[in-house]
Chains A and B, each alone.
Chain A
Amino acid sequence: MENINSRLKFYCDADRCIECFACVVACQNAHELPVGIARRKVVTLNDGVEGKETSISIACMHCSDAPCSQVCPVDCFYIREDGIVLHDKEKCIGCGYCLYACPFGAPQFPKDGVFGAKGAMDKCTMCAGGPLETNSEIERHTYGQNRISEGKVPVCAAMCSTNALMIGTSEKVSELYRTRVLARGESKEANNSYLWNVAYNKQSRKGLTQ
């Protein structure tokens, strides 16, 4: 298997995130998503509670061993060499299993099926489109912009107003984050550790990593 450190990853630095929704709206707007679908979400925990309030932006983490891809009954996921986890909307039946398998609640479902049933799953593509012809109109329509193919940064990270949202190879992102954490003093790290571990497959993910 290729070097795990060269996979593209997101990380949201909760000490920076201020719940400004720039990432969310940038994503929705760039990919022209239906209202109600937010590939990226910003959530504030303990809203208004002094000393405890934390905001965080979260989307698909493009997991190394993508649990979503393991459970899909129609096998519509594929993982690119750079680690981006994508899926084929034409195959997807909108069953929701990927959501149940996903630790981060990334997969979402437009209610556009029969009687408002779940339609084809939609999730963050890391702005890398989908299996259709790269940069074709139909790809843009189905999966949103393909910025990666144009050498651009995903639009959410580009728009982040506080540089809380980082994107890059796992190695680079950890390096950047580590520098920040060191500058802040170690007491701050606790804020983020659980997300970090899950997304980056440190420690406790052994169950899924044979």
Chain B
Amino acid sequence: MTNHFGDIVANSKLIMMVGANSAVANPIGFKHFLQAKDRGAKLIVVDPIFTRSAAKADIYVRIRPGTDIAFAYGLLHVIFKNGWEDKDFIDHRTYAMDQIRAEAAKWTPEEASNVSGASVAQILEVAELYAKTKPAAIAWSLGITQHSVGSSNTRILPILALVTGNAGKAGGGCQIIRGHDNVQGATDMANLADSLPGYYGLGKAAWEYYAKTWGVSLEYLQSRFHPELDAKGEHKWMHAKGFSLAKWWQGVLQEEKTHSSAPIRVLWVQGTGITSMSQQVKIKEAIDKLDMLVVAEPFVNEAAIITDRKDGIYILPAATQFECEGTLSATNRSAQWRTQVVEPLYESKADHEVMFAFAKKFGFYDEYVKGMKMRVEKGEVVQYKDDFVWPDDAVREIARTVKSIGLSGWTPERLRKHQANWHLFDPLTLKGHGEMEGEYYGLPWPCWDEKHPGSPVLYDVSKPVNEGGMGFRNRFGMEHNGVSQIADETVTLPGQKIKGGYPQLTKANIEKVLGITLSEEEKAQMGPSWAMDFSGIIQKYAREYGVCVYGNARARTIVWEFPDPVPVHREPIHSPRWDLVQKYPALPDQDNNFRVATRFISEQTKQDWSKEFPTIMTSMRLVNLSGAGMLERTSKYLSSITPEMFANIHPDLASKYGIEDKGMMWIHAPHGTKIKVRAHYNRSVTADRICMPYNFAGVMQGVDLSANYPEGTRPYTIGESSCTVVNYGFDPITQISEFNAGLCRVEKA
């Protein structure tokens, strides 16, 4: 979230939810939208399904899955045509908007309607309402990201906010609603295959930086990798992205071309739902083929259930949140300290204990925990003690290291104090009172240093940087195609001692940008750039001059490194509209993303899939189950709410196939898999599509796997996983599966 929920309640006049069903995926978050609505804000919900959130909307727009970009361009077309855009904002703070304008010109409301299925009248109505109501927030979640055009989707919506000048405004902005506790934190800490924590990437400089903060040598880190060198003589696999959660199984099966030093032989699963990933049958085959599967979870992860293997599975009992202590990041980037409620029960261990034990056995425990015994002295990270305190020293390590998103101010002392005094914070502004005066609740990042109050609204230029303000980040160079990437001189924040935009601060430019002279000692201690400056001197000067270390730049609306610099509509890999596949084809196939080749256009045009698979298939979450549901389905109360896997189907579609309400049906996927589920007549779906929850597992292609659960661990409910039939299709950048726009054929069972 660029803003926070209290801000929505207090300030938003309009909230447009696209591909988000927060009423189900984040009910508490959704309360804030309803509160805003009670205050008079308008709620627009754009979704292929008439969701529980849609039921509360003032305007509901039903679009076809995978056509968000077409719909958004329809809005942009109308906005540009009528001159409703925020011209000042575009001129002063954005880059390359003309390219967006050019693309939008193609998307007449008629074409947008033809592609997306929203009516022309609705496109006109929403465009006008969204453009003219300020401030207006856009909210989204997995309905936007889980597509073969997911990364373009996530760019087109912020572009809407930029065009209308809603970015960086209280009550405006882009609200990505996370559906689980600490999803934000997990991402920030890079539970990802393509970056070190804090989005530092996998470049050599990043590894060097991390080697320093962990108190180990770069050579030591290199020695942990396969020794193969690349053409430049660099360690090949150290700087290459790993396999992603979406397609790791190809690392085992190697059916598509893979790029790795060896096939994957062991899978270690800790805190993730393998059964909520697409291509379940492939995942099963991969697990069957592994040498060993380790599952470290509080509940039996159904990764261990879907496989036929009889041995080589190790299930380690990990502790729940109540048995651990540490920080979490909320959806609005606020940190929250979590206290341990009980000691880990029975033989279960907290996640870090499991990892420590693992590290000890493998002989790298000392290096593994060394970072927690280090601190910065005169710009150098040095070991200052022989022991560490969990979790405080881990949090200190993060604060010392992760400067890229501004976690420097997150000391355990401050976060503990916030937890103890949460009653002193205003829920609408996040501002503290009394003892907490001058700080925002949870120090929403960026929190640049230990005096910084946190930043409740990102890119807000109405506040001084030292009080949570900032411009856009200067991340992509000084200029592109001869155009400056720096904000113009009108964008001067209060308290800023230099005028207008400026680049990100580095050792090389800080003297020039701020007009200062560094002492030799400072120069010696200072890191190469603000993000890698252990000494904190760059931030010290930034504070003094009221500037933001990451610069004050323009928001770029095009991403020149991406296959689609300008986000464009592309039909889903399995599209129900063969005519549109010709007009809006998928990207060329990829040879290597996250180490594996991925089919785009070749899969899309292999045949007219819609002939054999005429029904659109999309997935949804159930409010009582989350993720793969393995935790909630072990609760008798939660599972009794939805005792069975099902799919929502419109009575007209069902009767065409002779499927009765509450009768069983097969759902067949293009890649030859099928699941058997109960049909629920429901009018939230139209007759061209079905929708089903992704929270079940334990039954596969009609086969009950109950016998695979270790004694006493079978959840109260099991069911077919929708992921068995989720179609092939992945995003070109993030490789997330296309969970929400596929095709299928239903059949009476």
Direct contact of A and B (CB under 8 A): yes
- A183 within 8 Å of B by Cβ? yes
Can you list 15 residue pairs at the A/B interface with Cβ under 8 Å?
A18-B30, A18-B56, A20-B27, A21-B624, A25-B637, A35-B637, A48-B682, A49-B50, A50-B50, A161-B28, A161-B30, A162-B30, A162-B34, A163-B35, A183-B40
- Additional pairs, 12, CB under 8 Å, beyond known A16-B31, A48-B683: A19-B52, A19-B623, A20-B623, A21-B623, A24-B637, A36-B640, A50-B54, A50-B60, A161-B31, A162-B27, A163-B31, A183-B38
A133 → B minimal CB distance (Å):
27
- The answer to whether B27 and A48 touch across the interface, beta carbons within 8 angstroms, is no
Write the nearest CB–CB distance from B147 to chain A, whole angstroms: 23
Kindly list chain A residues whose C-beta atoms are within 8 Å of the C-beta of B637. 24-25, 28-29, 35
Q: Which residues 289-305 in B have Cβ within 8 Å of A in the complex?
A: none
Decide if A53 touches B23 in the complex (CB within 8 Å): no
Name the distance in Å between B462's Cβ and chain A's nearest Cβ. 27
Bound-state CA distance A24–B638 (Å) is 9
**A113-B295 Cα distance, complex, nearest whole Å:** 43
Q: Say yes or no for A145: interface residue by CB 8 A criterion.
A: no
Q: How far is the CB of B375 from chain A (nearest CB, A)?
A: 42
Nearest-Cβ distance from residue A206 to partner chain B, whole angstroms: 33
In chain B, positions 14-39 with a C-beta closer than 8 Å to chain A are 23-24, 27-28, 30-31, 34-35, 37-39
Q: Interface 1/0s, chain B 37-76, versus A by CB < 8 A?
A: 1111000000000101111100010000000000000000
Please tell me the size bucket of the interface on B: 20 to 34
Which residue of chain B is the closest to A53 with respect to CB atoms? B55
User: Once bound together, how far apart are the Cα atoms of A20 and B638, in whole Å?
Assistant: 11
Residues of A within 8 A of B23 (CB): 18-20
A53 with B31: CB separation less than 8 A = no
Residues of chain B within 8 A of A15, CB atoms compared: 34, 38, 56
Answer whether residue B421 sits at the interface, using C-beta atoms and an 8 A cutoff. no
A184 on the interface (CB 8 Å rule)? yes
| A183 contacts B39, C-beta separation under 8 Å | yes
B648 an interface residue at 8 Å Cβ cutoff? yes
Is there an interface contact between A25 and B624, defined as CB atoms closer than 8 Å? yes
Distance in Å: Cβ of B275 to nearest Cβ of chain A = 23
Say whether A48 contacts B685, CB under 8 Å.
yes
A residues within 8 A CB of B610? Answer: none
Q: Which of B633-686 contact A (CB under 8 A)?
A: 635-638, 640-641, 648, 682-685
The one of B34, B636, B641 in contact with A16, judged by C-beta atoms closer than 8 angstroms, is B34
Whether A180 contacts B38 by the Cβ 8 Å rule is yes
Least CB distance from B597 to A in Å reads 40
Alpha-carbon separation in the docked complex, A149 to B227 (Å) = 68
Select which of A18, A28, A183, A184 is within 8 A of B52 by beta carbon. Answer: A18
Closest approach, in angstroms, between the C-beta of B44 and any C-beta of chain A? 14
User: Does A142 count as interface, using CB distance less than 8 angstroms?
Assistant: no
Q: How far is the CA of A116 from the CA of B56 in the complex (A)?
A: 41
Interface majority SS (helix, strand, loop, mixed), chain B: helix
Q: Which of A24, A54, A184 contacts B38 (CB 8 A)?
A: A184
Question: Across the interface, do A25 and B638 meet the contact criterion of CB distance under 8 Å?
Answer: yes
Within 8 A of B (CB), among A99-115: none
Minimum CB–CB distance for B636 against chain A, Å:
5
Bound CA span A183–B34, Å: 12
A61 within 8 A of B: no
- Asked if A22 CB lies within 8 Å of chain B CBs, one says yes
Known: A28-B637, A48-B682, A161-B27. A53 touches B50 (CB 8 A): yes
B643 to A, closest residue via Cβ? A35
In the complex, what distance in Å separates the CA atom of A180 from the CA atom of B27? 19
**A142 CB to nearest chain B CB (Å):** 19
A55 contacts partner chain B, Cβ-Cβ < 8 Å: yes
Given known A21-B624, A35-B637, A184-B38, contact A48–B50 (CB-CB < 8 A) = yes
Q: Are B648 and A48 in contact (CB under 8 A)?
A: yes
Instruction: Name the B residues within 8 Å of A19 (CB-CB).
Output: 23, 52, 623
Q: A21-B641, A35-B636, A161-B31 are in contact. Are A49 and B39 (CB under 8 A)?
A: no
Separation of A21 and B24 alpha carbons in the complex (Å): 10
A161 to B53, CA, bound (A): 13
Which residues does chain A contribute within 8 Å of B60, judged by CB atoms?
50
A47 interfacial by beta-carbon distance below 8 Å: yes
CB proximity of A56 to chain B, nearest CB, Å: 12
Q: Are A47 and B682 in contact (CB under 8 A)?
A: yes
A48 contact set on B, CB distance < 8 A:
50, 648, 682-685
CA distance A183 to B50 in the complex (A): 26
Contact with B along A31-61 (1 / 0, CB 8 A): 0000110000000000111100111000000
Complex contacts, B50 vs chain A, CB 8 Å: 48-50, 53
Contacts of B56 in A (CB 8 A): 15, 18
Chain B contacts for A28, CB-based, 8 A: 637
Closest A residue to B684 by beta carbon equals A48
A167 to B50, CA, bound (A): 30
| Alpha-carbon distance between A18 and B22 when the two chains are bound, in angstroms | 10
Query: What are the interface flags for A2-26 relative to B under an 8 Å C-beta threshold, 1 for contact and 0 otherwise?
Result: 0000000000000110111110110
Q: Chain A residues with Cβ under 8 A from B641's Cβ? A: 21, 24-25
- Distance of A49 Cα from B681 Cα, bound (Å): 12
Contact partners of A22 in chain B: CB under 8 A: 27
Say how far A70's CB is from chain B's closest CB, in angstroms.
32
Measured CA separation A50–B624 after assembly (Å) = 23
A19 to B54, CA, bound (A): 13
> Which chain B residues border A47 with CB–CB below 8 Å?
682-684
Most buried by B among A16, A29, A163, A180: A16
The residues of A that contact B54 with a CB separation of less than 8 Å are: 50
Q: Which of A160-210 contact B (CB under 8 A)?
A: 161-163, 180, 183-184
Contacts of A21 in B (CB 8 A): 623-624, 641
A18 touches B27 (CB 8 A): yes
> Inside 8 A of A24's CB, which chain B residues have their CB?
637, 641
* Shortest Cβ-Cβ A-B pairs, 10 listed: A48-B684, A161-B27, A48-B683, A18-B23, A162-B31, A53-B55, A20-B27, A28-B637, A48-B682, A25-B637
B63 to chain A, nearest CB (A): 14
Distance between B434 CB and nearest chain A CB, rounded to angstroms: 25
Give the residue name and chain of the A residue nearest to B648 (CB): A48
Q: What residues of A have a CB within 8 angstroms of the CB of B623 in the complex?
A: 18-21
CA distance A22 to B31 in the complex (A): 13
In the bound complex, CA of A5 to CA of B53 (Å):
34
Chain A residues with CB under 8 A of B24: 18, 20
Within 8 A of B (CB), among A52-105: 53-55
Which residue of the partner chain B has the closest CB to A36? B640
Residues of A near B52 (CB, < 8 A) are 18-19, 53, 55
A8 to B52: give the CA distance in the assembly, Å: 30
Interchain CA distance A47-B55 in the complex, whole Å: 9
CA distance A21 to B37 in the complex (A): 22
B635 / chain A contacts, CB cutoff of 8 Å: 25
- What distance in Å separates the Cβ of A160 from its nearest Cβ neighbour in chain B? 9
A residues near B636, Cβ cutoff 8 Å? 35
